Structure 1
């Protein structure tokens, strides 16, 4: 009798637990739906509150965690270096990483990795940003955007130190580093050694982005910039410098042609008709 009673009691407890879990999942989805509505109405703080409740009620609800991370990211202001602003980015990164640590879908994994990468990019933590962009590319190698973003990071990483070095030498924007000047040649050699890996990776990444999206005019624009970076550190190899500048000009032309072709495809864009030409 006592044994049967214990079995019934355990069954009752199990049923109550299952019922509680089921209720929590339903309540979590309700909070998720409310959060989505708040998010769509740009009420991000309200949305964050709903998404927080959703993940507390059901930690396995990855859509809620993705939305929570995205809502935090929306509150982050790039370039505003304040404790509160940085905390918002860190909270977004934390939630994105929790998605990555779970068993997310392919799209969730890609979007979470890109979300973290974008935040690190704007926080100027370039190595971390590239790490997560590469993670996204590993999951979806046909997405051109992570390759483009790595190219942008590589350009930034090579451009800034070069411009700082040029400023110290008192060079004008249109002046190249002169290999006949001892100090300029020394700086040029140092920059070439430091920047060449980023320049090469940047060109390769941007090429990959353009291969995947042939009308990627933003990537073409950065190809122009990358080849100008390469040209300026060719030092005493003037022939290669000239070839790099020629290639850079080619990418300027390609960018303009691509933008023009896109504009012509936009709705409302029409060619000249017979009547208009009279």
Structure 2
């Protein structure tokens, strides 16, 4: 080996020896900062906790726990202030968490669930963007169900949440008129119909994935009640009332079964 090659090798080895302890020290410091941040977070000092978590990330950018707790700290600050700016920063933190951990399906699922919740909160922060944020919430929920690792329980919960959301959107449109015993205007009826269809679609998906999901039958009953508000055909109304009774009976049947299982100490996957 030539003198120059030996010198180059020695310089490389020296750099490795110097760099490695530095990396280890930085990682130890990052973990210390992470632990300090967790303590501040548990005290409710979320802004200070965020600073500690950011310091941990500066020292060790690939520290997954620091990424997660940083996002949770920003989220906690958003929960307190409910400002659109902090909401957007919270979403960005979860996006970074997902981007930096593409193979951690459990973490991605949790991040998507938290993002969905943030979008739901934002619908009440900015009324002008409420529908946009509501659609984003639905997209986050569906993304959870589409993950390769998604369990039937997760899929059922996602579909149920979507179904209930569409039911509520229809209910809220009709309520001002129904509560006053007034006819629902045709333009409102036309807005309610697609919401009712989507509510049925997702609640039926819930039942197809998890047939003993009792609350899905309860809300299917409520969705059929929404159907009666936009239907004028007498024969069809009779069919809808039969469906209402059918869903109520199924709900009560499952509730009874689950109570019996609970009293006998048997596990139940249903809601």
Q: Does structure 1 residue 204 correspond to structure 2 residue 201?
A: yes
Q: Specify the alignment match of 1:138 in structure 2.
A: 146
Q: Specify the alignment match of 2:167 in structure 1.
A: 155
Q: Deviations over 1:256-275 (max 9, x none)?
A: 44334434444699xxxxxx
Structure 1 segments of 4+ aligned residues over 4 angstroms from their partners: 1-7, 33-39
Question: RMSD of aligned C-alpha atoms?
Answer: 3.2
> How many Å apart are 1:97 and its aligned residue?
0.9
Distance (whole Å) between structure 1 residues aligned to residue 201 and residue 146 of structure 2: 16
Q: Specify the alignment match of 1:273 in structure 2.
A: none
Q: Specify the alignment match of 2:27 in structure 1.
A: 25
Q: Specify the alignment match of 1:129 in structure 2.
A: 137
Indicate if the aligned counterparts of 1:221 and 1:252 stay in contact, CA closer than 8 A: yes
List gaps (5 residues or longer) in structure 2.
124-132, 266-271
User: For 2:237, which of 230, 237, 241 is the aligned residue?
Assistant: 241
CA 1:24–1:81: 2 relative to 1, 3 Å: closer
User: For 1:58, which of 57, 60, 70 is the aligned residue?
Assistant: 60
> How many Å apart are 1:76 and its aligned residue?
4.3
Question: TM-score w.r.t. structure 2 length?
Answer: 0.75
Q: Specify the alignment match of 2:108 in structure 1.
A: 109
User: For 1:255, which of 222, 228, 251 is the aligned residue?
Assistant: 251
CA 1:93–1:100: 2 relative to 1, 3 Å: same
Indicate if the aligned counterparts of 1:51 and 1:67 stay in contact, CA closer than 8 A: yes
Give the stretch that moved more between structures: 260-269 or 203-212. Answer: 260-269
Q: Specify the alignment match of 1:93 in structure 2.
A: 91
Question: 5 Å matches for 1:28-43?
Answer: 28-36=30-38, 41=42, 43=44
Alignment length (residue pairs): 248
> How many Å apart are 1:135 and its aligned residue?
0.8
Q: Specify the alignment match of 2:126 in structure 1.
A: none
> How many Å apart are 1:87 and its aligned residue?
4.1
Indicate if the aligned counterparts of 1:114 and 1:146 stay in contact, CA closer than 8 A: no
CA 1:117–1:82: 2 relative to 1, 3 Å: closer
Q: Specify the alignment match of 2:223 in structure 1.
A: 226
Distance (whole Å) between structure 2 residues aligned to residue 24 and residue 136 of structure 1: 35
Give the stretch that moved more between structures: 134-143 or 10-19. Answer: 10-19
Distance (whole Å) between structure 1 residues aligned to residue 236 and residue 252 of structure 2: 25
Q: Specify the alignment match of 2:15 in structure 1.
A: 13
